[in-house]
Amino acid sequence: MRKNFGHWPAKSIDRRTFLLAAGAAFAHAQVSRADEPSETSLRQRAEKKGLVFGTQVNAGPLFSLKPYRDAVLRDAAMIVPENEMKWRPTQPAARQFNYFNADRIASFAEGNALLLRGHTAVWHQNPPAWTKDLISSGDGQKLVLDHARELIEHFRGRVMEWDVVNEAIAPEDGMPDNLRNWAPYSKGGISFIADCFHAAREADPNANLYYNDYSVYYQNQDQRRDAILGFLEKLKSKGAPIGGFGIQSHLIAKAEFNEVAYRRFLSEVADLGLKIRATELDVSDVRLGPDIELRDTIVAAHTKQYLDVLFDEPAVVGLVTWGMTDRFSWLHEGWPRKDRLRQRCLPLDENFAKKPMWYAIADALDHAPSR
Ligand code: XIL
The model's pLDDT over 269-284, given as tens digits with 9 standing for 90+, comes to 999 999 999 999 999 9
Best probe residue, ligand 1, of 82, 211, 248, 327 (max atoms within 8 Å of C-beta): 82
Neighbours of 199 (CB within 10 A): 22
Residue 317 has pLDDT above 50, yes or no: yes
Cα(96)–Cα(73) distance, integer angstroms: 32
Distance (Å, whole) CA 21 – CA 254: 11
Q: How far is the CA of 1 from the centre of ligand 1 (A)?
A: 9
pLDDT digits (tens, 9 = 90+) for 200-232: 999 999 999 999 999 999 999 999 999 999 999
Q: 117: which strand partners?
A: 161
| Mean pLDDT over each residue of the chain, to the nearest integer | 93
Question: In Å, what is the CA distance from 256 to each residue of 11, 228, 233, 252, 253?
Answer: 7, 20, 27, 9, 9
* Residues 6 or more apart whose Cβ sits within 8 Å of residue 285: 253, 295, 298, 299, 337, 343, 344, 345
Strand ranges inside the chain, DSSP E: 52-57, 78-81, 115-123, 161-166, 208-213, 244-247, 250-252, 275-284, 316-321
What local confidence, expressed as pLDDT, does residue 13 receive? 43
**In whole angstroms, what is the distance from residue 285 CA to residue 224 CA?**
23
Residue located nearest, by CA, to atom 16 of ligand 1 = 82
- Give the pLDDT band of residue 20 (cuts 50, 70, 90): low
Contact of 128 with 83, CB cutoff 8 Å? no
Output the pTM of the full model: 0.92
Cβ proximity of 135 and 184 under 8 Å: yes
Beta strands of 285-322 (E only): which ranges? Answer: 316-321
In ligand 1, the atom with minimum distance to the C-alpha of 167 is 13
Atom of ligand 1 nearest to the CA of 250: 18
Whether residue 321 has its Cβ less than 6 Å from ligand 1: no
Q: Ligand 1 mean position to 14 CA, how many Å? A: 30
> What is the structure's pLDDT at 371?
96
Spatial contact of 1 and 214, defined as CB atoms under 8 Å apart: yes
Least Cα distance to 105 among 138, 145, 76 occurs for 76
Question: Across residues 160-188, what is the average pLDDT?
Answer: 98
Greatest C-alpha distance within the chain: 62
CA dist 13 → 20, 22, 65, 216, 268 (Å): 11, 13, 37, 20, 29
Angle at 321 between CA 345 and CA 254, to 5 degrees: 40
Residue nearest to atom 18 of ligand 1 (CA): 1
DSSP state of 311: H
- Give yes or no for residue 58 CB within 6 A of ligand 1: no
- Give the residue numbers annotated as catalytic, written as ranges: 167, 280
| Nearest in space to 127 (alpha carbons), one of 91, 168, 163 | 91
